């Protein structure tokens, strides 16, 4: 913005510094209060509730827990990677400069812009084996009885992944698109002059430029997908027979069963996986923060 680079440091003004600092603390106080009362205290208390080894013994003996861990790993590996490959591909499509593609991108963002319940319920009804539109169409077009999409645990998990991808894909496509748009056009022009193919342009120009963004986004998405409650709960509710839970819905299930120590233990079990990722993300953001912009 400013033509002259302004050093980003407060003026060395000794006098009056204290009033400014006092005001700073006063303005910061509301958030500090929110953090202490609704994050730090609850989390500390929760960890304290989960201190008994006994909770973990019974948790590990619960077959639902074991299934949920497997489901969660499966969900994370498949859904996140599939989502990002699709987002990478579609971001390449949406950067084309056409009026109609701009309009399409406005429509494409709808799943991200609308609340989860209506659309997930809609998909749930579409997949109903008896009355749902998917199986009706399968029967009408091919005279075959469609599968029980939501009562077969494996299929139901796959459907939950589809729902997750349906909802989250637009956001990550936009992010990767922003990354692609930041690449200088001259690089592509130079590559064209050198006779590079479309694949070579992607391999040697696009990918090196957005690799860091792609990896950071994937890691962030891993954390958030781990906490995706809606896609699973609103679609299957953990059914049939509690076989389609993931850790996010399992914790809530234990709350509903009034087993708070198990709910907390479920979360503690996931922490060795979550905390390094969180640490990495925070590190990334504060490195960017220190860079002069």
Q: Which of residues 74-113 bind other proteins (CB under 8 A)?
A: 90, 93, 96, 98, 100-101, 104, 106-108, 110-111, 113
The Cα–Cα gap between 25 and 39 comes to 19
Nearer to other proteins, 45 or 66 (CB): 45
Binders in 213-232 for other proteins, by CB under 8 A? 213, 216-217, 220, 223-224, 226-230
Nearer to other proteins, 136 or 152 (CB): 136
Q: Give the binding range for other proteins (CB under 8 A) out of 73-81, 117-125, 142-150, 152-160.
A: 117-125
Q: Give the binding range for other proteins (CB under 8 A) out of 69-77, 133-141, 149-157, 188-196.
A: 133-141
Nearer to other proteins, 81 or 212 (CB): 212
Residue 194 and residue 205 in contact, taking contact as beta carbons nearer than 8 Å: no
If one counts every other C-beta atom within 10 angstroms of the C-beta of residue 231, the result is: 27
How far, in Å, are 84, 93, 266, 283 from residue 279 at the CA level?
22, 33, 20, 6
Q: How far is the CB of 123 from other proteins (least distance, A)?
A: 5
Judged by CB under 8 A, which of 56, 62, 119, 146 binds other proteins? 119
Binders in 141-170 for other proteins, by CB under 8 A? 166, 170
Residue 34 in contact with other proteins, rule: CB under 8 A: yes
The separation between the first and the last C-alpha atoms of the chain, rounded to the nearest angstrom, is 11
Q: How far is the CB of 79 from other proteins (least distance, A)?
A: 14
Q: Return phi, psi of residue 115, to 5°.
A: -65, 160
Nearer to other proteins, 10 or 195 (CB): 10
Residue 35 in contact with other proteins, rule: CB under 8 A: yes
Residue 236 and residue 164 in contact, taking contact as beta carbons nearer than 8 Å: no
Nearer to other proteins, 96 or 185 (CB): 96
How far, in Å, are 5, 23, 86 from residue 11 at the CA level?
15, 17, 49
Residue 223 and residue 192 in contact, taking contact as beta carbons nearer than 8 Å: no
Residue 65 and residue 59 in contact, taking contact as beta carbons nearer than 8 Å: yes
Binders in 44-63 for other proteins, by CB under 8 A? 45-46, 49
Biggest CA pair distance of the chain: 85
């Amino acid at each position: 913005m400013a033509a002259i680079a302004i050093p980003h440091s407060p003026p060395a003004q000794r006098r009056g510094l204290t009033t400014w600092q006092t005001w700073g603390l006063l303005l910061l106080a509301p958030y500090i209060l929110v953090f202490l009362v609704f994050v730090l205290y609850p989390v500390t208390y929760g960890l304290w509730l989960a201190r008994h080894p006994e909770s973990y013994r019974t948790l590990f003996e619960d077959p639902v827990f074991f299934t949920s861990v497997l489901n969660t790993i499966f969900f994370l590996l498949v859904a996140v990677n599939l989502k990002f490959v699709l987002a990478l591909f579609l971001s390449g499509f949406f950067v084309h400069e056409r009026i109609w593609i701009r309009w399409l991108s406005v429509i494409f963002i709808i799943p991200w812009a609308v609340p989860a319940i209506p659309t997930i319920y809609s998909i749930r009804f579409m997949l109903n084996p008896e009355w749902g539109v998917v199986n009706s169409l399968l029967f009408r077009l091919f005279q075959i009885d469609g599968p029980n999409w939501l009562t077969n645990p494996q299929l139901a998990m796959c459907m939950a992944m589809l729902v997750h991808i349906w909802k989250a894909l637009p956001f990550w496509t936009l992010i990767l698109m922003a990354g692609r748009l930041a690449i200088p056009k001259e690089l592509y022009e130079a590559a064209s002059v050198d006779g590079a193919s479309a694949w070579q342009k992607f391999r040697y120009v696009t990918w090196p430029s957005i690799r860091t963004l792609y990896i950071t986004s994937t890691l962030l998405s891993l954390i958030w997908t781990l906490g995706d409650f809606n896609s699973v709960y609103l679609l299957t509710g953990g059914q049939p027979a509690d076989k389609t839970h993931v850790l996010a819905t399992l914790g809530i299930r234990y709350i509903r069963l009034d087993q708070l120590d198990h709910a907390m233990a479920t979360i503690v079990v996931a922490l060795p996986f979550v905390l390094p990722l969180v640490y990495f993300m925070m590190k990334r953001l504060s490195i960017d923060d220190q860079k002069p912009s």
